[in-house]
Amino acid sequence: MTNIAICAPATPITRDHAAALETLVAEEFPGHRVHFHEQCFARAGHFAGDDLARLTGLLECANDPAFDAVWFAKGGYGSNRIAEAAVAQMNASARSKTYVGFSDCGYLLAALYRAGIGQSAHGSMPVSARSQRGREAVRRVLRWFAGDNSGLEPSLDGVTPAAAFNLITLTMLSKTPLMPDLSGHVLMVEEVSEHLYAIDRMFFALAGTLPRLAGLRLGAITDVPENYVAFGQGEEEIARYWCDRAGIPYLGRAEIGHTPSNRVVPLGLAGPAGAA
């Protein structure tokens, strides 16, 4: 039995979102139990409760030995505001858990990975369980929790460490106390709802700050707004341009992003949930 605690370090979900995941788990994953922290449904402006409420919810899930994993309910914006305080207050039980999320929750994944706390993984979140297409992305995570690696990003080789982040999240992480050492990693990046010139600008910011990587893979770049004038380079041209400038091997595409095809990427070496 895998007991999975769900909290919302950034923005809230609804009880309908929770019910959709609970139904999916009951029907298809009898070996799992999901427990939604009440904080998931709190609201304080943009956030799922104020900073203290979100921090408390996360710590209650992470530090409770009854849970095997912590699954972040939704992205949005806000996990960066509590990430440093959270890792500083996590106990021995928190260090044996698996943590899954992506997008804005990459701040927390980065902080956990840097601190050597548990197994962090980029993966889809419970908020997607209400849609037919989103449910398949959620199933990949649930299968991985059960030790099934079929939903991992196909390029993972089990030898080279990897990491996956939303591009703007990674840019904001750079040179902060949350940023892990990604030396020797294959770095995968994705983005949603940003102009192509903004994608270029983020690659510019990262090109001078990233360590020596094993390579970079580009995930999905989706919902790109139309600019008043065409940028002149496509998403992959931008990635190749800045990889060439920075001396980073460009390795092609990755199946990650704000899409139903989003794959699981454990930070570090790939393996089943909970593997060191």
Closest CA to 37 of 51, 16, 53: 53
Residue 274 has what pLDDT? 64
Alpha carbon 154 to chain centroid, angstroms: 17
The values of phi and psi at residue 100, to 5°, are -130, 135
Overall number of domains in the chain: 2
Q: Residue 271 domain-assigned?
A: no
Residue 276 has what pLDDT? 47
Task: Tell me the mean pLDDT in the region 248-255.
Answer: 98
User: The domain that contains 214 carries what CATH number?
Assistant: 3.50.30.60
Residue 273 has what pLDDT? 79
Residues 130 and 166 in one domain: no
Residues 85 and 111 in one domain: yes
Residues 178 and 101 in one domain: no
Range of the domain at 214: 162-253
Distance CA 98, CA 96 (A): 7
Residues 132 and 175 in one domain: no
Give the pLDDT confidence of 29-49 residue by residue, as tens digits.
Answer: 999 999 999 999 999 999 999
Q: Residue 8 domain-assigned?
A: yes
Closest CA to 206 of 178, 233, 239: 239
Give the pLDDT confidence of 81-91 residue by residue, as tens digits.
Answer: 999 999 999 99
Q: Which two tokens stand for residue 57?
A: 């919810």
Task: Tell me the mean pLDDT in the region 238-254.
Answer: 98
- Identity (one letter) of the amino acid at 67? F
In order of 52, 105, 142, 171, 262, the CA distances from 195 in angstroms are 34, 22, 33, 15, 21
Residues 24 and 99 in one domain: yes
- Reported confidence tier of residue 181, pLDDT bands at 50, 70, 90: very high
CA angle 31, 162, 105 (to 5 degrees): 65
- The pLDDT > 90 percentage for the chain reads 96
Residue 270 has what pLDDT? 75
Residues 97 and 145 in one domain: yes
Query: What is the overall mean pLDDT for the chain?
Result: 96
Report field, pTM of the whole predicted structure over 0.75: yes
**Residue 5 above 50 pLDDT?**
yes
- Identity (one letter) of the amino acid at 14? T
